[in-house]
Amino acid sequence: MNNKAWEKLKGWGHEPEKTAIFTDIDGTLAPIVSTPDLSKVPEELRLLLARLARSYRIVAGISGRATPDAKKLIGLEDVVYYGNHGFEILRDGAVEVVPEAMPYADKVRELEKLSREELGPRGAFVEDKGITASIHYRNVPPEVGELCKAFVKREGERLGLRITVGRGVVEARPPIRADKGTAIRRLVEEYGPEKALFIGDDTTDLDAFRALEELREEGVLLETLRIGVKSDEGPPEIVSEADLIVDGVEGVGEVLRVLVSED
């Protein structure tokens, strides 16, 4: 399976104008670090993305981060940025939030406030992200991590929010259909590629994998590739649902190098 996927990947470089490249950021382009503010995309990957953005139909970073943070992390003007797991897009210098999410903004802020009061003193880091909330427990003892998950799940559900757990983080968002899969569907419909791939490492990236598969089955896309970034902390589905598996950020660099190759 992997050999066939690599061969397909190599062929895509001959028709970049028909191809979309979608990627997660943290854990995919940037190594997972203790707190989000320490994250950094290696310069080699930034240069590769810059080259890809000049020739491919679209290159988009689809992140759980707030959209301005996603752009700051990659730092390229030619890349399209979708943030907060598909709840917002950066367009013409302004952030557009999915309108259906706005009624839940106060509830998200309430959860952030409660989490800072209850979990902050225990070492958790509550990230200010606007329309979604992320509570990071990577740097706390395991029992505190379990407390973080239980607290956010209980309070988030009380407030009517959707809760997901990722690599060292528990997240809350409005309970509407907006995720990395809906972001991909919107971008494919807008830019009209014939082929598309997504690279991801965590639970929320599975929505993007499944959207690609649906778009191919519907005939909207002729070819797709789901590239999973293997890690000790990632969900097993990242491996089982991927067409191609790579190891860490270094493996992602190998994928990008293949895509820029003219051989």
179 is known as an active-site residue: no
Which of 24, 201, 207, 243 does the annotation list as catalytic? 24
- Tell me the CA distances in angstroms from 29 to 32, 176, 229, one per residue in order: 9, 27, 10
The answer to whether the CB of 111 falls within 8 A of the CB of 118 is no
Residues annotated catalytic, as ranges: 24
